[in-house]
């Protein structure tokens, strides 16, 4: 793109490798009463989060310009190519204010307000989603990544997949996804789920949201889900793997800190304190004027503290920024009236000439002013009743480079999953909220600093660049993987080596052992085995091999030193320290197993080159010796016949293999059991296949996941081949020995 592009340059069909689609563009078109016009920053956290990424990506942003009945040519702003999608006044009413903000928004926020269901709103939602999908399809280059944002556009992934199967499609839901009991009220619940399943990766703010979504998929469509992987049947009788998991969004932490360090912003913070009469404590709330934000609860608690004399207006002022939002939706209008009535009453009852109880500001402020407010505030109050993330909480923390300030944070925000050192509150519990506010006001400096230091580290470690990189990596894989061990992985291994109790869990085929045609010929590389032996000899260090193979077959090829734990048949079989855990199949499972074998035998018999591997609770149809098309056709045939006849069979596809099991487990479950068994404080998991994704999905905290080779993955690191895996294990053994002061004889 040139620096001064013409609209025609910007709207070259299929020109962009990266396209973001969201209801709102980063800028809204505004027309003042005097007829002057301008493009202004849009409200809300979605735009705050995506702007820095788009500036860096040289992609296109498809969205609505915030006004009715206006068509705009594409244009460029701050280095982002903007492609506006027009909406009529009626569509804004039915699709945006109606279905998005009066049906989905209250439903997805735990029905804090009652959702309305209207068929004509749904029809407008479908129509407008189609328009966004068409605009994105037009902008996206062959094989481009299209990243669809939020609840207003849940049908776009499926529409896009139908018109452009070449695209890689991601979806991120910025708001919560509700429990099935609530979600199931939606009359169009199946269509919405199907719309979302058009994506390759569906991201949520919290693990709980992703769990609610996969449960809804199972309940409504009966699709197999394993950890975060959903098997979506396609028209050819095969399956597509869709990943649904949490990717907590964040902010440009360094950018906020940089602003906060500017002398003029600090000066403005001092000025704000002065203008408020220099109260001892300033409490701050910053929210869109939305019923999900718990502003009423906050005001109630503050009012009661004043009434009961636990704080006084001389001591504390509450600054409440309530930025205008969705003002044509009735619930929002009512909320504004209620809040302004409450603020008026409280000020009337408690303010003095010199000290105002509440400074209420019904405005949207630019970022510099927000940062000055954060610096001026001793206590930040985030009391949302339900909030996807709440970026304000993270922004406050990022700005407090002075290490001071206290964050009071609702446990019903996504942010509370990460910001554990905040003063966590249940805003429905008014007494608890009052106590937390008093605790925050009175918190000793040492305690404030301790908490703020931990909070700041968390926000810096997962900033918005990290969020988008993690999402996009899961979506696209990382292309060609370079030889050797990347620096980031070396650093992660160094840290891991220092952990108290280390579990090294390794897939076998394709990870420790290069892939071969005959499974019985597979062997781990010598270097990997030597490293495993070294690791197994170190205190508080255990190695596990986690395979899809039956335990018997794994035992024959693994040649692992004694003390190595084994997990076979994707976790159905485990050998820990006391011999294999017995598999007592029920009668019905045994009958299923017999019939399964008959069906798949018949399928395999028709093809030379296919073979069947028997397992205690299932079997695997191997098609590695067939060409890709024949292999796939054979697998589809087997899948069709099995699903037509047998119920409750777990089917999973791997590299040139289709597996059937009468009892279900996955490598994620298996890894959790191994972790528990040895009480591991951190885990290294290395794997190459789709079934290893279940294990990557359960990694947490200081765990390290390494994917071998290309392809979509949840692992944060990659190496190219089993040779690199061996090198990695070698290094880990080295570092661990050093950290532990040498080997010490565990066998
Ligand atoms: O576009 P509006 O209708 O004016 O609403 C503004 C945005 O509000 C919501 O923000 C959410 O995204 C944030 C970033 O992920 C998150 O922190 C917050 O908890 C969410 O509520 C909405 O999801 C966006 O689509 C709107 O643009
Ligand atoms: O007057 C205001 C009020 C809010 N914000 C920004 O709006 C975003 C709000 O995001 P959050 O995730 O907290 O909530 P949302 O409004 O998206 O539900 C944050 O980046 C705030 O800094 C702003 O720029 N000016």
Q: Could you please report the per-residue DSSP string of 262-276?
A: -HHHHHHHHHHHHHT
CA of 47 to the centre of ligand 2 (A): 9
* pLDDT (0 to 100) of residue 742: 57
Q: Which of 21-35, 306-320, 359-373, 730-744 has the lowest mean pLDDT?
A: 730-744
Report, as an integer, the average pLDDT of 309-319: 95
**Interacting residues of 552 by C-beta distance below 8 A, sequence separation 6+:** 568
- Cβ of 46 closer than 6 Å to ligand 1, yes or no, is yes
- Cβ of 389 closer than 6 Å to ligand 1, yes or no, is yes
- Cβ of 323 closer than 6 Å to ligand 2, yes or no, is yes
Task: Answer positive or negative: Cα dihedral of 124, 127, 133, 137.
Answer: negative
Task: Kindly give the number of the ligand 1 atom that is closest to the alpha carbon of 249.
Answer: 15
Cα within 13 Å of Cα(106), Cβ side? 18
Nearest ligand, CA 364: 2
Nearest alpha carbon, ligand 2 atom 20? 45
- Cβ of 66 closer than 6 Å to ligand 1, yes or no, is no
Same structural domain, 379 and 272: yes
- Rounded Cα–Cα distance for residues 191 and 197 (Å): 10
Q: Which of 468, 447, 544 has its CA nearest to residue 503?
A: 544
- Cβ of 362 closer than 6 Å to ligand 2, yes or no, is no
- Rounded Cα–Cα distance for residues 467 and 250 (Å): 7
- Cβ of 367 closer than 6 Å to ligand 2, yes or no, is yes
pLDDT at residue 238 greater than cutoff 80: no
Residue 665's pLDDT band (cuts 50, 70, 90): confident
For residues 4 and 718, which has the higher predicted lDDT (pLDDT)? 718
Whether the model pTM is above 0.95: no
3-state secondary structure of 397: helix
- Rounded Cα–Cα distance for residues 363 and 289 (Å): 10
Same structural domain, 191 and 281: no
Question: Is ipTM beyond 0.90?
Answer: yes
Report, as an integer, the average pLDDT of 526-532: 96
Mean pLDDT across the chain: 92
Nearest ligand, CA 173: 1
- Cβ of 717 closer than 6 Å to ligand 1, yes or no, is no
pLDDT at residue 514 greater than cutoff 90: no
- Structure token pair of residue 218: 């199972």
For residues 517 and 14, which has the higher predicted lDDT (pLDDT)? 517
* pLDDT (0 to 100) of residue 580: 66
DSSP state of 280: S
583-638 pLDDT per residue, tens: 778 888 999 999 999 999 999 998 888 999 998 899 999 988 887 778 878 988 99
685-705 pLDDT per residue, tens: 999 988 898 999 899 989 999
Phi and psi at residue 478, to the nearest 5°: -120, 20
Same structural domain, 600 and 577: no
**Interacting residues of 365 by C-beta distance below 8 A, sequence separation 6+:** 321, 323, 373
Task: Kindly give the number of the ligand 1 atom that is closest to the alpha carbon of 96.
Answer: 3
- Cβ of 43 closer than 6 Å to ligand 1, yes or no, is yes
- Rounded Cα–Cα distance for residues 9 and 134 (Å): 19
Report, as an integer, the average pLDDT of 337-344: 98
Residue 415 in domain? yes
186-229 pLDDT per residue, tens: 999 999 999 999 999 999 999 999 999 999 999 999 998 877 88
- Structure token pair of residue 701: 């905290």
Choose which residue among 24, 30, 46 to substitute to test ligand 1 binding: the one with the highest number of ligand atoms within 8 A of its C-beta: 46
* pLDDT (0 to 100) of residue 6: 54
pLDDT at residue 80 greater than cutoff 80: yes
Nearest ligand, CA 50: 1
Residue 603 in domain? yes
Instruction: Find the CATH number of the domain harbouring 526.
Output: 3.40.50.1000
CA of 28 to the centre of ligand 2 (A): 15
Where do the H-state alpha helices sit in 140-177?
Answer: 156-163
Report, as an integer, the average pLDDT of 674-693: 94
Nearest alpha carbon, ligand 1 atom 9? 44
Same structural domain, 181 and 313: no
3-state secondary structure of 318: strand
Cα within 13 Å of Cα(578), Cβ side? 3
* pLDDT (0 to 100) of residue 673: 93
Residue 4 in domain? no
Same structural domain, 227 and 292: no
Residue 48's pLDDT band (cuts 50, 70, 90): confident
CA of 333 to the centre of ligand 1 (A): 18
CA of 130 to the centre of ligand 2 (A): 28
Same structural domain, 531 and 489: yes
- Cβ of 575 closer than 6 Å to ligand 2, yes or no, is no
- Rounded Cα–Cα distance for residues 258 and 38 (Å): 27
Cα within 13 Å of Cα(636), Cβ side? 14
Residue 476 in domain? no
> Which residue do the tokens 């735009």 mark?
47
Report, as an integer, the average pLDDT of 343-366: 96
639-660 pLDDT per residue, tens: 999 999 998 898 887 778 899 9
CA of 555 to the centre of ligand 1 (A): 52
Residue 469 in domain? no
Q: Which of 229, 201, 192 has its CA nearest to residue 214?
A: 229
* pLDDT (0 to 100) of residue 1: 32
- Cβ of 623 closer than 6 Å to ligand 2, yes or no, is no
Where do the H-state alpha helices sit in 361-443?
Answer: 367-376, 391-399, 430-442
3-state secondary structure of 144: strand
CA of 131 to the centre of ligand 1 (A): 21
Nearest alpha carbon, ligand 2 atom 16? 44
3-state secondary structure of 293: helix
Nearest alpha carbon, ligand 2 atom 10? 45
- Rounded Cα–Cα distance for residues 652 and 171 (Å): 24
Element of type H or E holding 537? none
Contact 664, 484 (CB under 8 A): no
> Which residue do the tokens 């009480």 mark?
679
For residues 239 and 727, which has the higher predicted lDDT (pLDDT)? 727
Render 641-657 in DSSP notation, one character per residue: HHHHH-SS-EEEEETTE
Where among 661, 688, 710 does a domain terminate? 661
Same structural domain, 527 and 447: no
Q: Which of 247, 213, 205 has its CA nearest to residue 229?
A: 213
Contact 539, 744 (CB under 8 A): yes
Q: Which of 198-212, 230-244, 272-286, 597-611 has the lowest mean pLDDT?
A: 230-244
119-147 pLDDT per residue, tens: 999 999 999 999 999 999 999 988 889 99
Report, as an integer, the average pLDDT of 378-390: 98
- Cβ of 399 closer than 6 Å to ligand 2, yes or no, is no
Where among 194, 227, 246 does a domain terminate? 246
Nearest alpha carbon, ligand 1 atom 1? 24
Strands 75-77 and 80-84: antiparallel
Same structural domain, 332 and 227: no
Residue 354 in domain? yes
203-218 as b/e: b if 16+ CB within 10 A:
bbbbeebbbbbbebbe
Residue 619 in domain? yes
Strands 75-77 and 37-41: unpaired
Q: Which conformational region is residue 385 in: left (phi greater than 0), alpha (psi within -120 to 50 degrees), or beta?
A: alpha
Instruction: Find the CATH number of the domain harbouring 425.
Output: 3.40.50.2000
Nearest alpha carbon, ligand 2 atom 23? 365
pLDDT at residue 523 greater than cutoff 90: yes
CA of 44 to the centre of ligand 2 (A): 4
> Which residue do the tokens 């129509």 mark?
127
Task: Kindly give the number of the ligand 1 atom that is closest to the alpha carbon of 49.
Answer: 14
* pLDDT (0 to 100) of residue 481: 66
Domain count, the chain: 4
Which residues on adjacent β-strands are paired with residue 147? Answer: 20, 170
Choose which residue among 20, 66, 95, 174 to substitute to test ligand 1 binding: the one with the highest number of ligand atoms within 8 A of its C-beta: 174
Q: Which of 323, 276, 273, 319 has its CA nearest to residue 299?
A: 319
CA of 294 to the centre of ligand 2 (A): 15
CA of 365 to the centre of ligand 2 (A): 9
Nearest alpha carbon, ligand 1 atom 13? 45
For residues 482 and 618, which has the higher predicted lDDT (pLDDT)? 618
Choose which residue among 47, 252, 370 to substitute to test ligand 2 binding: the one with the highest number of ligand atoms within 8 A of its C-beta: 370
The rounded percent of the chain whose pLDDT value lies above 90 is 73
Nearest ligand, CA 174: 1
* pLDDT (0 to 100) of residue 15: 74
CA of 66 to the centre of ligand 1 (A): 14
Q: Which of 431, 386, 382 has its CA nearest to residue 284?
A: 382
Same structural domain, 498 and 612: no
- Cβ of 361 closer than 6 Å to ligand 2, yes or no, is no
Choose which residue among 44, 61, 173, 409 to substitute to test ligand 1 binding: the one with the highest number of ligand atoms within 8 A of its C-beta: 44
Cα within 13 Å of Cα(200), Cβ side? 22
> Which residue do the tokens 């969020």 mark?
467
Class of residue 552 by CB neighbours under 10 A (exposed 0-12, middle 13-18, buried 19+): middle
Same structural domain, 451 and 598: no
Choose which residue among 47, 100, 156, 175 to substitute to test ligand 1 binding: the one with the highest number of ligand atoms within 8 A of its C-beta: 175
What's the domain range around 538?
A: 481-583+666-740
Element of type H or E holding 336? helix 330-350
Render 428-447 in DSSP notation, one character per residue: T-HHHHHHHHHHHHH--HHH
Q: What angle do CA 533, 510, 727 make, to 5 degrees?
A: 45
Nearest ligand, CA 320: 2
- Rounded Cα–Cα distance for residues 566 and 505 (Å): 9
Residue 9 in domain? no
* pLDDT (0 to 100) of residue 581: 66
Render 661-690 in DSSP notation, one character per residue: ESS---HHHHHHHHHHHHT-SEEEEEE-SG
Same structural domain, 242 and 261: no
CA of 691 to the centre of ligand 2 (A): 39
**What CA dihedral angle connects 9, 14, 17 and 22, to 10 degrees?**
90
- Cβ of 285 closer than 6 Å to ligand 2, yes or no, is no
Greatest CA span in the chain, whole angstroms?
93
Where among 611, 636, 661 does a domain terminate? 661
Q: Which of 247-251, 541-545, 578-582 has the lowest mean pLDDT?
A: 578-582
Cα-to-chain-centroid distance, residue 272: 37
Same structural domain, 344 and 486: no
Q: Which of 520, 541, 269 has its CA nearest to residue 404?
A: 269
């Amino acid at each position: 793109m040139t620096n001064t592009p013409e609209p025609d340059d910007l709207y070259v069909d299929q020109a962009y490798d990266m396209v973001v689609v969201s209801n709102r563009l980063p800028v809204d078109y505004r027309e003042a009463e005097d007829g002057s016009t301008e493009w202004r920053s849009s409200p809300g956290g979605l735009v705050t989060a995506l702007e820095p990424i788009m500036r860096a990506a040289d992609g296109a942003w498809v969205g609505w310009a915030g006004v009715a009945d206006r068509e705009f040519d594409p244009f460029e702003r701050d280095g982002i190519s903007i492609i506006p999608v027009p909406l009529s006044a009626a569509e804004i009413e039915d699709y945006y204010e109606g279905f998005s903000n009066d049906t989905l928004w209250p439903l997805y926020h735990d029905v804090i307000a009652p959702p309305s269901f209207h068929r004509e709103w749904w029809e407008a939602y479908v129509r407008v989603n189609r328009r966004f999908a068409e605009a994105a399809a037009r902008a996206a280059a062959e094989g481009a990544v299209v990243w669809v944002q939020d609840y207003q556009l849940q049908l776009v992934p499926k529409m896009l997949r139908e018109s452009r199967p070449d695209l890689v499609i991601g979806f991120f839901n910025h708001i919560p996804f509700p429990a099935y009991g609530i979600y199931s009220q939606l009359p169009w619940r199946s269509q919405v789920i199907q719309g979302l399943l058009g994506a390759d990766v569906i991201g949520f703010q919290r693990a709980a949201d992703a769990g609610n979504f996969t449960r809804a998929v199972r309940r409504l469509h009966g699709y197999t889900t394993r950890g975060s992987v959903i098997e979506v049947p396609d028209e050819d009788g095969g399956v597509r793997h869709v990943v649904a998991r949490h990717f907590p969004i964040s902010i440009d932490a360094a950018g906020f800190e940089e602003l906060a360090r500017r002398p003029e912003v600090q000066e403005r913070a001092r000025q704000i304190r002065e203008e408020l009469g220099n109260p001892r404590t300033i409490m701050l709330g910053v929210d869109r004027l939305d019923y999900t934000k718990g502003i009423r609860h906050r005001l109630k608690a503050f009012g009661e503290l004043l009434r009961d004399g636990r704080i006084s207006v001389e001591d504390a002022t509450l600054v409440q920024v309530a930025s205008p939002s969705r003002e044509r939706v009735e619930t929002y209008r009512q909320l504004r009236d209620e809040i302004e009535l409450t603020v008026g009453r409280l000020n009337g009852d408690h303010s003095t000439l010199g000290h105002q109880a509440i400074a209420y500001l019904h405005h949207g402020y630019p970022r510099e002013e927000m940062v000055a407010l954060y610096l001026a505030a001793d206590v930040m109050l985030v009391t949302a009743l339900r909030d996807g993330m709440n970026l304000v909480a993270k922004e406050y923390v990022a700005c407090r480079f002075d290490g001071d300030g206290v964050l009071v944070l609702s446990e019903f925000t996504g942010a509370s999953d990460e910001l554990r050192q905040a003063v966590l509150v249940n805003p429905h519990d008014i007494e608890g909220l009052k106590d937390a506010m008093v605790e925050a006001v009175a918190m000793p400096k040492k305690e404030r600093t301790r908490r703020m230091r931990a909070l700041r580290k968390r926000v810096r470690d997962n900033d918005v660049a990290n969020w988008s990189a993690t999402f996009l990596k899961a979506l696209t894989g990382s292309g060609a993987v370079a030889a050797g061990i990347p620096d980031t992985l070396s650093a992660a291994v160094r840290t891991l080596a220092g952990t108290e109790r280390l579990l090294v869990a390794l897939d076998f085929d394709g990870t420790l052992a290069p892939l071969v045609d005959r499974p019985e010929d597979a062997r781990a590389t010598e270097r990997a085995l030597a490293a495993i032996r070294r690791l197994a000899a170190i205190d508080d260090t255990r190695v596990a091999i986690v395979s899809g193979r039956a335990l018997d077959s794994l035992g024959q090829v693994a040649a692992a030193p004694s003390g190595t734990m084994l997990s076979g048949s994707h976790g159905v079989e485990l050998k820990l320290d006391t011999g294999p855990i017995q598999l007592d199949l029920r009668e019905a499972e045994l009958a299923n197993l017999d019939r399964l074998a008959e069906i798949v035998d018949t399928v395999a018999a028709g093809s030379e080159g296919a073979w069947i591997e028997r397992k205690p609770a299932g079997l695997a149809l191997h098609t590695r010796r067939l060409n890709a098309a024949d292999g796939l056709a054979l697998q589809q045939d087997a899948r069709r016949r099995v699903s037509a006849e047998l119920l409750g069979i777990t089917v999973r596809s791997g590299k040139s293999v289709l597996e059937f099991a009468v009892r279900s487990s996955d490598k994620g479950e298996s890894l959790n059991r191994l972790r528990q068994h040895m009480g591991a404080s951190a885990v290294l998991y290395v794997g190459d296949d789709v079934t290893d994704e279940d294990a990557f999905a359960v990694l947490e905290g200081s765990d390290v996941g390494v994917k071998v080779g290309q392809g979509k993955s949840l692992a944060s690191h990659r190496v190219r081949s089993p040779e690199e895996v061996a090198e990695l294990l070698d290094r880990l053994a080295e570092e661990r020995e050093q950290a532990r002061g040498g080997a010490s004889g565990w066998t």
